[in-house]
Structure 1
Amino acid sequence: MDARFPADREESDREGRHAMPAGDSAAQEQSRQLALAAAHERAAADARATASRYGVASATEQRTAAALAPLAAAGYHLLADRRWPGSRRAQVDMVVVGPAGVFIVDTKAWADVRMAEDRIFRGQEDVTDELMALADLAYRTEGELVEVGLAPGEVHAVAVLAGRSGVDERVGPVRVLGDRDVLRQIARRGARLGQEQVDAVLARCLSWFTHVDAAAPISTTLPEPVLPGPRGPVLLAPDEDGAPDTVVPEPRPAPDLPTPLLSEGEVQRAMLEGLMAEPVEEWMSFLHPAQARVVRRSYNGPARIRGAAGTGKTVVGLHRAAYLARTQQGKVLVTTYIRTLPDVLRQQLTRLAPDVVDRVEFAGVHETAKRILDERGVSVRIDGKQIASAWTAAWGRVAGGSAIDTDRHEQEYWHDEVSYVIKGRGLTRWEEYAALPRLGRRHRLGMQQRRVVWDLYEAYDKELRDRGVHDFADQIALAEAELRREPLAERYTAVVVDEAQDLTCVMIRMLHALVGDAPDGFTLIGDGQQTIYPGGFTLAEAGVSVAGRGTVLDVNYRNTREILQFASLLVKDDEYADIEGATARGDRPTEVPRRGPKPVYVRCQNEADRQRRMVLRVHEVVAEVGTNFGDVGVLSLSRRGVESATEALKKAGVPVVNLEQYDGVPVNRVKVGTIKRAKGLEFKQVLVVDPFASWLTEKAEELDEVDRERREFRLRELYVAMTRARDGLWVASI
């Protein structure tokens, strides 16, 4: 989910203007921003005058309107004295619609106010219910604005305490602010919606919050920013003749209003803070209406959200986690198989929903299991060298020279059979394995071969015990057994599982045990087409039913049509066992709205030629407008490929960060990593650097079942890599 921030663009722009010293550029940018803030304040004077003419109910509400009026010069619309939807008499003091979202503002002229334990008191009277009515209105407004695609977290209930300052509290979902604080708190959220999105939301709000009188929303056209030059202020925009003009702005007379809550300097600082705030990516705040409805949808038990690559599953999952954190008590767990992905998702939610990020826990599946065992005092020792030694000893004792020791299978194949098929499905008796449909494993095993595999499993398990160690599958099984013995007491209200197709059956059982079948408690997100690990299973085996609670996302928002067509050729004939029990060929998006250049495939002479071309390609794409080093992902099937690519890029002076160290914080470095580490991420440009040409040309019908299975997993992995690309794809083979 990589994205570029304004700081990256500014850095790129400065690099392109070699004639301007860095100090001069920074000084000019500072002057431009200060001039822009001053322009906002001048335009806000008009908005204040408009606010003063509103028929607001009281002086306190008028003061709130005046305090918020400077927002009108920054693309906000202030709807005052609107009718409370569903009520004949109640009114809403102010609805603010703009780049930072929607704010439903209610002014309270309350004296002797105190807040404690998520309650608010006026003197001795508990008036929390009054704020909860405002929260309920915000919740219903979320549902209304979902129909235009506004994410639920972009609607805010705000109670303003008249005559108070330095107040910033929460009572349930309602933000409580002093009237001197409300402007700053709204402005500082920065730009989260584009102009078209603001217009769409405003149109819906005007019909939802009907006017009591005929007053129009406050709306002011922002003057062009004025930049001080050596001979006076210079208007940045050209005049009608195309030449820059010189203007000296005249201060406008202040409207006749009560004493301002904020000084001109305070207003400028508040507006400048908002202007300089890093905007959240639009895809985080504005969804397709179908996606937004899924975020708020209520399920009466475990649910599944699926869809092809690029359909926004992870984004929907993050929004859903934030939504559940706002609307339910307790913590929400977001988990996935990839160890490094939770850190990236945490950073994304911090930008998406900073108000609830502390109520959402991000942890990999194994990290979650370890925490459960640590809390129960169950000791687990994982030692990679000892695990490898145990496997080698078991193989030599049982499998060497046996019916499964053939040239057609490396030991890795049988290690996967033990780890994913036997231990991953929680099998404990030979009879279970003997009769098991080995979903996702094309190589058919006879009874003699199965018996050897089971003996290998038992020998390996004994070797682990003799060494006093466990493997990662044991860690999951022990945590699942602990939860069966004693369920967790009220830790999580919901669990959201991203890339659910990568988990094992025992992992699903363990996570499901955290919340059971509670309404909206368990959400599985994933795409069977992107399964790249063996050991398929069904949800029925895990004791989970999502019958009647499934949603399919079918619009690809990430890839261009050209990238998706190219990547889909790899898996067009692929069949896989879906976790719901059916054999599937993959979901196909019904719509791919974006177009772009065709992917580039190059056949290289040797490895040195491939590395040289890779470096050239990186320099080519970062030379394009709007693309930076941090927008590029170089992906490999192997760690060796990652090391080779990293060495070549560093030698060429290209900044690099390994995906194993990437935590989601924007960094202007090319991201290099294995395809497995790239799951759940996206990049503007993707380079896939180590496939062999034969992988792309071999025909499945000419392969035996062993090689065909290998080919399917390999091509799915390449498909995952290619569909990480948003704008451009480059593939190099030998």
Structure 2
Amino acid sequence: MPFVSMASTKNKVDGSIKKRIYDFLQKLQVDDTAPGLHIEPMKEPQDRRVRTGRVTQEWRAVLYKMEVPGEDAHYVYYGTWHHDEAIRIARSTVLRLNPALGTPEFEDRGAPQTPQEDVAPQQTDLPSGPEAPPETPPEEPTSGESASMEPALEGAAAAGATTATVPWTNALSTGWTADALHEQGGINPDLAARALAATSQAELSAVIDDAPESQGLVLLGLANGETLDHVREDLHLSPVEEGAEFSTDQQVVDAIRRGSAGFAYVGDSDEELRTALESMDIDRWRVFLHPEQRVYAEKSTNGAYRLSGGAGTGKTVVLLHRARHLHRKNPQARILLTTFTKTLTASLAENLRRLDPEISLVGLGEPGVATLGMDQVSAQIVRHASPEEVDAAVERVLGAGRNRLSRRVGKTAELFDAAVERVRPDLPEELTAPAFLDQEYTTVVLAHRITSERDYVRVSRAGRGTALNRAARQQVWKVFAQFRQTNQLDDAATFPELAVIAAQILRDRAERGEPLPVDHVLVDEGQDFHPGHWMLFRALAAEGPDDLFIAEDSHQRIYGQKITLSRYGIHVRGRSRRLRLNYRTTAENLAYAVSLLSGDTYVDMEEEMERSDDYRSVRSGPAPVTIAAADVGEEVAAVAARIRGWLEAGHRSSGIGILVRSEKALTDVIERFSAMELSDRQGPVRLVDARRAAQLRPEEIPAMTMHGAKGMEFECVAVMGVGEQDMPARWTLNRMPEAEHQDVLMRERSVLYVAASRARDELLVTWSGQPSSLLPEM
């Protein structure tokens, strides 16, 4: 049976032809000599291995037949075009190995000087009857050509509209010549000259878009100031000796199987073929993993592993592929794929099914992949534990006293306020703020399983911003003791308490030599978990190969506190890497989002400084737009005008996101937009929040809080209400000790960074009155 690989091509076909392409390639996998396929060579092609095959009478596939000793034929599928165009491409295009990069790529060398008719249209072998050939899809404008770049803005807000540009420097212009780029970097001479001449990110992106994928990624890295050795290491490129005019078939096939950028090895798997084809046009990332991603999806680790990276760098994609890889490697393995919120957990399950419909989605502790939130995991472990196990764990975590844990305490602010009112501690007001007490209790008391005043007075509080002397700790402990007593009487526990208790149950079982419920734990959005979760992560799976794999971005920490993994028995020193290539956001939007982080220093989970200045994007588009309005009404009118422009330019309603800071602001925004007509074609548009996003009708535009947008992406995003009265949110600083303010402000920056980085193509940032101090000065 022939093997098949697929190239990530830039040609577009409509849905009706995609089904025919799948049928064609599926038959090819079974028998490449089947008469209906019409696999035929060209006359006088530039590459003797090229073939075309009949998809329909009007459409032909272009393939390259590789002959590897001892194996069946291996076809590299390049793409499908209308008959005449396919013949032209097949005759002029060569599949070769770039010796400087060690990767396959297609090169158009032009048609032979004496064109000949190669393959005449033949009578289709499909069922008789007229067939209307699908129309060629119109060329889609790039984001930089979108008609929505300069929409009409209504009222006085138009005067406040500005483009937010971030300075860009082409590092290629210093230290590189066209000859050096060609000889050392494997860049086509024409592309090298154009790249050196680029004066903006948009110009460079145009060059990258024209280049073979590996060459484009090399240019991008070098243009951002990286060394060639560093770029090769990131992309896992290995130069090869240049041999004959054409690379050997074995070299090409081996490179594809290793995971070269722009190619997916399908082999003889019908499932892989379907997934690859369905993902080619709109969701290439699900199949065509960048080499920088693929190695982490498939590598075996000797213990816990940490993968960091900014928004849009593909951390979640790696986790999805890693879950599938581990499951295929051992179908009996018990895998937990988890993240922080219910919405994101559901998204993981949905995308995993989309990636591999045959994968086994199961419950905790069963062979297959369980997609659960960690609070669900905690509850299940406690619920299925024996009464004796629960009692022992409760005593170890909370101290003496029975607690059946039958109730969950979600919001703790009222309970802490009640505890303060009851014991009336001799403390400054800021030390009795619920937010401060909650963080102290979670990150210090629970993290160290403190059950007495004596232990709390002595414990290290490393990482906490506010210093507490012995007397202050004694007073704070009185509040915690009252808090625990109230919960004990109600048989209640907070979610962090439940996580620590679940971890203790598993720890006790491990000490008795009993099996643990999970073999592999895959963690997404690791920066948002609290200490109780990390204790449970460590307790779920025995230490060993591939036990824990953590994806996180400290710049997106909008829920959790600063965490050092080693304090919870999770050691990743030497097993930690960082993704830097952004696949979602345009370079202009990425630069703006990153600029929101300037002025603060972020620390990762290994207590190392977290960089944000070396993220890069393969895409370019219009610069973000900022609008200063006189009041909220004018702000909403300006955003409405922009949305009309996006809709008229062809953007989908569901591809537009409106993000605001708070639930109160969200309600106000929805009310103000509800009566507006944003599109003449679609009529009034009703905005919905994140809780109902899954039920969006095609004409509806989602509006949600910035927190609710975590993990989502949109073609166009309007980030509203970024004024000095709204961000940083005043309630986040209310009664907090001065020493904690910096951490709160960093969290607010992260919230804004998350919101801005949701935009794939176009970003709009608006405010009324004075702008927030968190916004960059452009």
In 2: Cα distance, 1:306 partner to 1:574 partner = 18
| Aligned pair partner of 2:670 in 646, 662, 687 | 646
**1:574 and 1:712 in contact (8 A); partners too:** yes
Q: Return the alpha-carbon distance in structure 2 between the equivalents of residues 655 and 277 of structure 1.
A: 30
Deviation at 1:388, TM superposition (A): 5.7
Give 2:619's aligned amino acid. Answer: R
Partner SS, residue 396 of structure 1:
helix
Cα gap change, 1:51 to 1:309, in 2 (>3 Å): closer
Report the CA distance between 1:511 and its aligned residue: 1.6
- Structure 2 CA distance, aligned partners of 1:206 and 1:417? 60
- The one-letter code matched in structure 2 to 1:92 is D
AA aligned opposite 2:722: P
Counterpart secondary structure, 2:566: coil
Change (3 A) 1:207 1:481: same
Query: What is the CA-CA distance between 1:628 and the residue it aligns to?
Result: 0.9
The CA distance in 2 between the partners of 1:274 and 1:318, in whole Å, is 15
In 2, distance between residues paired with 1:668 and 1:96? 40
SS in 1 for 2:519: strand
Mapped pair 1:719 → 2:753: yes
Give 1:244-255 correspondences, 5 Å limit: none
CA contact (8 A) 1:344 1:662 kept: no
Say if 2:594 and 2:613, in contact at 8 Å, map to a contact too: no
- 2:306 equivalent to 1:333: no
CA shift in 2, pair 1:369/1:706, >3 Å: closer
Larger deviation: 361-370 or 632-641? 632-641
Question: Does the Cα contact within 8 Å between 1:305 and 1:550 map onto a contact in 2?
Answer: yes
* 3-state SS of paired residue (1:422): helix
Cα distance, 1:601–1:437 mapped onto 2, change above 3 Å: farther
State which of 693, 696, 710 in structure 2 corresponds to 1:679. Answer: 710
Match of 1:601 in 2: 626
Matches within 5 A, 1:361-510: 361-376=370-385, 380-384=405-409, 390-399=415-424, 402-406=426-430, 410-423=433-446, 426-430=449-453, 433-434=456-457, 438=461, 441-487=464-510, 489=515, 491-510=517-536
Q: Which residue of 2 aligns with 1:581?
A: 607
Is the contact between residue 554 and residue 591 of structure 1 (CA under 8 Å) also seen in structure 2? Answer: yes
Residue number in structure 1 paired with 2:653? 629
Q: What is the match of residue 155 of structure 1?
A: none
- How big is each residue's C-alpha offset from its partner over 1:616-642, in whole Å with a ceiling of 9 and x where there is no partner? 3333223223x2111122222222222
Q: CA deviation at 1:97?
A: 4.2
Alignment of 1:15-164 (within 5 A): 48-49=34-35, 75=61, 77=63, 79=65, 82-83=67-68, 90-92=70-72, 97=77
Q: Is the 8 A contact 2:408 2:495 kept in 1?
A: no
Q: Is the contact made by 1:424 and 1:535 (CA closer than 8 Å) also made in structure 2?
A: no
**Residues 323-362 of structure 1: CA distance to partner in whole angstroms, max 9, x if unpaired?**
1111123232110112210111211122222232533221
Q: 1:434 to 1:290 in 2, by over 3 A?
A: same
Deviation at 1:503, TM superposition (A): 0.9
Whichever residue aligns with residue 685 of structure 1, its letter is: C
Q: Kindly provide the amino acid, as one letter, of the partner of residue 251 in structure 2.
A: S
Q: Displacement of 1:149 after TM fit?
A: 11
Rate the CA distance shift 1:311–1:278 in 2: closer, same or farther, 3 A: closer
Contact 1:34 1:272 in 2 (8 A): no
Query: How far apart, in 1, do the equivalents of 2:103 and 2:688 lie?
Result: 38
CA separation in 1, counterparts of 2:463 and 2:698? 38
Q: Which amino acid aligns with 2:672?
A: A
> How big is the shift at 1:431?
5.2
CA contact (8 A) 1:563 1:725 kept: yes
CA contact (8 A) 2:336 2:518 kept: yes
Contact 2:503 2:540 in 1 (8 A): no
Query: SS in structure 2 opposite 1:676?
Result: coil
The one-letter code of the counterpart of 1:546 is V
CA distance in 1, matches of 2:458, 2:60: 68
Is 1:309 matched with 2:311?
Answer: yes
Q: Distance in 2 between matches of 1:476 and 1:38?
A: 47
Quick one: structure 1 residues 537 and 427, their matched pair in 2 at CA, closer, same or farther if it must change by over 3 Å?
farther
Displacement after TM superposition at 1:79 (Å)? 4.1
Residue number in structure 2 paired with 1:153: none
The letter of the residue matching 2:68 is R
Shift of 1:33: 6.3
Query: How far off its partner does 1:549 sit?
Result: 0.9
Following TM superposition, by how much is the alpha carbon of 1:434 offset from its aligned partner in structure 2, in angstroms?
A: 3.9
* Displacement of 1:309: 2.3
Asked whether the 8 Å contact 1:347–1:664 carries over to 2, the reply is no
List per-residue Cα deviations over 1:33-65 (Å, max 9, x = no partner): 699899989x9999855978999xxxxxxxxxx
Structure-2 change in CA distance of 1:578 and 1:697 (3 Å):
closer
User: CA distance change for structure 1 residues 414 and 467 in 2, over 3 Å: closer, same or farther?
Assistant: same
Distance across 2 between alignment mates of 1:682 and 1:591: 18
Matches within 5 A, 1:178-327: 207-209=251-253, 281-327=283-329
* Cα deviation code 1:201-256 (max 9, x no counterpart): x999763559xxxxxxxxxxxxxxxxxxxxxxxxxxxxxxxxxxxxxxxxxxxxxx
Q: Please say if 1:692 is aligned against 2:723.
A: yes
- 1:243-284, CA deviations, whole angstroms, 9 ceiling, x for partnerless residues? xxxxxxxxxxxxxxxxxxxxxxxxxxxx99999999661121
User: Is the Cα contact below 8 Å between 1:302 and 1:549 reproduced in 2?
Assistant: yes
- Alpha-carbon RMSD across the aligned residues, in angstroms, is 4.6
The more displaced of 500-509 and 445-454 is: 445-454
Q: In the aligned structure 2, how far is the partner of 1:282 from the partner of 1:463?
A: 53
Q: Give secondary structure in 2 for the equivalent of 1:732.
A: strand
**Residues 196 and 363 from structure 1, CA distance in 2 versus in 1: closer, same or farther, beyond 3 angstroms?**
farther
Count of paired positions? 534
Q: CA deviation at 1:590?
A: 4.7
1:600–1:327 distance in 2 versus 1, CA, 3 Å: same
**1:728 and 1:413, CA in 2 relative to 1: closer, same or farther beyond 3 A?**
farther
1:461 Cα deviation (Å)?
A: 1.0
1:536 aligns to 2:574 (yes or no) = no
Classify 1:276/1:462 alpha carbon distance in 2 versus 1 (closer, same or farther; 3 Å): closer
Deviations 1:3-38 (A, max 9, x none): xxxxxx99xxxxxxxxxxxxxxxxxx99x8699899
Counterpart-to-counterpart distance in 2, 1:430 and 1:662: 47
Of the structure 1 ranges 648-657 and 564-573, higher mean CA displacement relative to structure 2 is found in 648-657
Give the secondary-structure state (helix, strand or coil) at the position aligned to 1:374: helix
1:268 is aligned to none
* Matched residue, 2:766: 732
CA shift at 1:387, angstroms? 5.5
For residues 499 and 373 of structure 2, the distance between their equivalents in structure 1, rounded to whole angstroms, comes to: 12
Contact 2:658–2:720 (Cα < 8 Å) also in 1 = yes
The Cα of 1:519 is off from its aligned counterpart by 0.8
Distance 2:411 2:533 in 1: 23
Q: Partners of 1:629 and 1:439 in 2: how far apart? A: 48
Deviation digits for residues 520-567 of structure 1 (CA, Å, limit 9, x no counterpart): 121010011222235323111101101211111122222222222222
Q: 1:324 to 1:273 in 2, by over 3 A?
A: closer
The Cα of 1:446 is off from its aligned counterpart by: 3.7
Quote how far apart the aligned CAs of 1:499 are.
0.7
Q: Which moved more, 1:274-283 or 1:572-581?
A: 274-283
Gaps of 5+ in 2: 1-11, 42-52, 81-100, 106-208, 216-245, 255-272, 362-367, 391-403, 677-683, 769-778
CA distance in 1: counterparts of 2:710 and 2:22, whole angstroms: 45
Matches within 5 A, 1:520-531: 520-531=546-557
Determine helix, strand or coil for the equivalent of 1:344. Answer: helix
Between the aligned partners of 2:22 and 2:499, the Cα distance in structure 1 is: 59
Deviations 1:625-673 (A, max 9, x none): 3x21111222222222222233333333324342234459996642322
What are the Cα deviations for residues 395-447 of structure 1, in whole angstroms up to 9, with x where unaligned?
Answer: 211356x42324x9743333333244433564444455445565654333344
List alignment gaps of at least 5 residues for structure 1: 1-8, 11-28, 56-67, 85-89, 101-145, 151-193, 211-270
